[in-house]
Amino acid sequence: MINFKKLLVLLFLIVVFLSAASAEETDAFETYPDALGGYYGEIGGTGLSYQHWFDKIGIQTALGIFYYPDDMIEYATSPVYNADSYDVDIFVYNIGIEVQYMVYQDSFRDWFDGNLYVFAGGMHDGRIRTTYTFEERVYNETSDNEYTDYPKTGESAPFYVPIFSVGFGFGFETVLFNHFSLPFEFGLMGAWELGTAMPVDAGLKIQGGLRYRF
């Protein structure tokens, strides 16, 4: 039986040998400035993502649409403590955009490129919600000191909640074999519901994705 670890080591050595044997190094960001794939972020958006480098200036967009069926919501949401109502999202969409500036870039091998950049961006997040109401929880001392389950007794009509987020930070992108892009970002952000002064979310956020450069 082939040892899996030895096989991985052998494949890695072959890749290193082939890359060392090649004298030509390519700049993946200049040769393949476009990238398409998936991305997760609370500043730049979550969903399908497109990115393009104009020399040192980069533009990134993301678009996502998410639907949560009613049976999934009832299973996944549980009010805490003695809450008798709970807001849940039924449908969510978001669109985000980032402007990036490349600070440093290098081609370490013809199969391994990387860069460091700073960014600023924003996202619009729209949510259709409903409010569930529940029966009061009953404390059960004979059942491992747990609260008994309680059913949903009603729900409100769906309502729309618009949220806007802005943020900035830095990121780095690793490109393997000139095409497989792995971007990761660290940024500070704040998010507000339309018409409110206090943010609904703020802090340090980590973003990342997987894209194909072409």
Cβ–Cβ < 8 Å for 28, 179? yes
- Quick one: pLDDT at residue 25? 56
Phi-psi region of 177 (alpha: psi -120 to 50; beta: other; left: phi over 0): left
62: exposed, middle or buried (Cβ count in 10 Å: 0-12, 13-18, 19+):
buried
- Quick one: pLDDT at residue 73? 54
Domain assignments of the chain as residue spans, ordered by start: 25-213
pLDDT surpassing 60 at residue 111: yes
- Quick one: pLDDT at residue 41? 95
Average confidence (pLDDT) over 43-59: 96
Choice among 2-6, 35-39, 168-172, 180-184 with the minimum mean pLDDT: 2-6
For 5-158, strand residue ranges (E) read 34-40, 47-54, 57-67, 85-109, 112-134, 139-140, 146-147, 152-155
pLDDT tens digits for range 92-105 = 999 999 999 999 99
Residues 6+ apart with CB under 8 A from 1: none
- Quick one: pLDDT at residue 182? 96
CA distance 88 to 73: 7
- Quick one: pLDDT at residue 76? 43
- Quick one: pLDDT at residue 188? 98
- Quick one: pLDDT at residue 23? 42
Please give the backbone phi and psi of residue 143, each rounded to the nearest 5 degrees, phi first. -125, 65
pLDDT surpassing 80 at residue 193: yes
Please give the backbone phi and psi of residue 73, each rounded to the nearest 5 degrees, phi first. -65, -45
Say how many Å lie between the first and final Cα of the chain, rounded.
39
Which has more confidence, 78 or 157? 157
Average model confidence (pLDDT) across the chain: 82
- Quick one: pLDDT at residue 8? 53
Which has more confidence, 5 or 96? 96
pLDDT tens digits for range 130-152 = 887 766 555 555 555 555 555 55
According to CATH, the topology of domain 25-213 is Porin (2.40.160)
